[in-house]
Amino acid sequence: MRLSRLSAWLAFAGAWSTAFSVSSAATSVSPAVLSATTDLLDAGHILHFLDIVDAFGHVSVRNPDNLSEFFMSFSLAPALATSQSIITYEINNATALSLTFNTSVTGANIPAGFAELFIHSELYKAFPDVQGVVHSHTTEVLPFAGANVPLKAQMHTAGSIGTQGTPIFDTGKLPTSILPENQPHDTLIRTAVLGDALARSFSSDGGVVLMKGHGMAVRGSSVRDAVFRSFYTLQDAKVQFQATLLGGSMGLTPREAQDGANTTESTSLLGRAWQLWVAQVDTAGLYVNDLRASTVPASAS
């Protein structure tokens, strides 16, 4: 039943998005929410374009008008998300409140969300300064968690990884009070208790946690920042692996990592990367951000 309802919504969303206008979105939400959700759609598309996510993985952004809420697509490949797949969630209990751009759709009529939405709700709950969250199954980072080798910042663009070594979250080592025997042991973060345990595993100097046999969770000061950190975590994993083959991977000093993050994650440099990535997804042919005029289908104008 839920699958058929989701299929119906996908068909509806596709038809609705073709007729959707940017001016309609602008009048239905505040400018701050429109900006945040525009970035959210771009983020999902960019993460796919940069090979950080595939059909699986997800991204969210905190609601700038109500810090007790966040926006996230329903269960859908990030590359295919449009305005009509965005759901407004309550952070406190990860409850789906409504479709963000069709608030008449509430309760049981909202398409099913991601099984791991508690990654997002619990990170927002634990860290009030976090405005964007990414979860991915990026293959380049999986060997490090599998071998119990933390990532360390190897370059200035990956300074947010930190120099103490990324925490490695291993569901196989959790007590039964967090992951009972009668729950699935598939490494997915299916409950608030698991999400809280994941959030608590973040180090004070890093924005990334590796998840053994699963992927990674990334927090950011904005959804753009979370995407930036995700991409350069992937790049850092490549560099650390190659440096290890050459006989060393000391990485950056704490000062270099912190100053590197402050520089590369500044508004201007983060904006430079975002401008390039948006241009790339806009011309790729697959992605449609119907909250920006540049990607609204011609038939909608």
User: What are the backbone angles phi and psi of residue 126, rounded to the nearest 5°?
Assistant: -75, -30
Residue 265 known to be catalytic = no
Give residue 258's identity as a one-letter amino acid code: Q
- DSSP string covering the chain, please? -HHHHHHHHHHHHHHHHHH--HHHHHHHS-HHHHHHHHHHHHHHHHHHHTTS-SSS-EEEEE-TT-TTEEEEE-SS-GGG--GGGEEEEETTT--EEEETTBTT--GGGSPP--TTHHHHHHHHHH-TT--EEEEE--TTTHHHHHTT------SGGGGGG-SS---EE-GGG--TTTS-TTS--SS---SHHHHHHHHHT--TT-SEEEETTTEEEEEESSHHHHHHHHHHHHHHHHHHHHHHHTT------HHHHHHHHHHHTSHHHHHHHHHHHHHHHHTSSS---TTSGGGS-GGG-
Residue in 189, 234, 225 with CA at minimum distance from that of residue 207: 225
Distances in Å between the Cα of 35 and the Cα atoms of 11, 191, 271 are 25, 30, 14
Q: Given CA atoms 222, 227, 233, 235 in this order, what sign does their dihedral have? A: negative
List the catalytic residue out of 69, 90, 116, 265: 116
Q: Which residues are catalytic?
A: 116
